[in-house]
Amino acid sequence: MRLILAEDSTLLREGLLRLLAEEGHDVVAAVGDGEALLAAAEVHRPDVVVTDVRMPPTHTDEGVRAAVRIRENWPEIGVLVLSQYVEKRYAAKLIGGDGGRVGYLLKDRVAQVGEFLDALERVAEGGAAFDPEVVRRLVARTSHEDALGKLSPRERGVLEKMAQGHTNAGIAELLYISQSAVEKHVNAIFDKLDLPQAAGYSRRVLAVLRYLGS
């Protein structure tokens, strides 16, 4: 896998470089700010960009803003955001479009090497990977909404796993239920959230966006 790594902490950047190289990935550029990330993405067109949220010069949201621009300009490039914080506004923007090739993990998750590499693979393969804590914080403000209130506890659990980027097969494994049961719950979610079949739209993405209150 060809990667660009954007991280202003030299220590963390070097650690991630070593980890990714040991796993057989090709890090074609390693940069320390948002502008350099955009320039590198235009030149190298990697499979996935791994970026911090807060980088120089202001250390506010340069990295995640660059990630949103990469999603807009080169949708074929996967984006995996790493952060110590949940940036609600930009997290919702990131999962717009087709909802694929995108992930958002808290940096604590990087310490769980297996989970980090699994998320990276899912993003590269066109899927999504959202940290459970990110999803929990994003949905906290919407838990009172009437449409979501129609869902059963099991359906809410399935939708939460969908928001984390898991496939139906992955949800079945995580919740210890059959894949056909997951499909049944997913269809019930679509019905209860009033998401009919419509050409050009993914009901799965729309359901997740509804869940996140976007």
Report how many domains make up the chain.
Answer: 2
Q: In the listed set 89, 111, 140, which residue is the last one of a domain according to the structure?
A: 140
Residue 177: burial class (beta carbons within 10 Å; 0-12, 13-18, 19+): middle
Is residue 116 predicted with pLDDT exceeding 60?
A: yes
Q: Tell me: do 19 and 112 sit in the same domain.
A: yes
Q: Tell me: do 126 and 154 sit in the same domain.
A: no
Please state the pTM of the whole predicted model: 0.69
Q: Tell me: do 125 and 29 sit in the same domain.
A: yes
Torsion of CA 123, 128, 133, 136, to 10 degrees: 170
Q: Tell me: do 12 and 118 sit in the same domain.
A: yes
Q: Tell me: do 161 and 195 sit in the same domain.
A: yes
CA distance 53 to 44: 21
pLDDT per residue as tens digits for the range 125-161: 988 888 877 766 655 554 445 677 788 989 989 988 8
Q: Tell me: do 113 and 171 sit in the same domain.
A: no
Higher-confidence residue: 143 or 121? 121
**Which pLDDT value is given to residue 214?**
46
Nearest partner of 121 among 81, 169, 80, 92, judged by Cα: 80
Q: Tell me: do 89 and 162 sit in the same domain.
A: no
Q: In the listed set 83, 110, 140, which residue is the last one of a domain according to the structure?
A: 140
Which structural domain, as residue segments, surrounds residue 111? 2-140
Residue 175: burial class (beta carbons within 10 Å; 0-12, 13-18, 19+): middle
Q: Tell me: do 151 and 135 sit in the same domain.
A: no
Q: Tell me: do 126 and 31 sit in the same domain.
A: yes
Q: In the listed set 140, 156, 177, which residue is the last one of a domain according to the structure?
A: 140
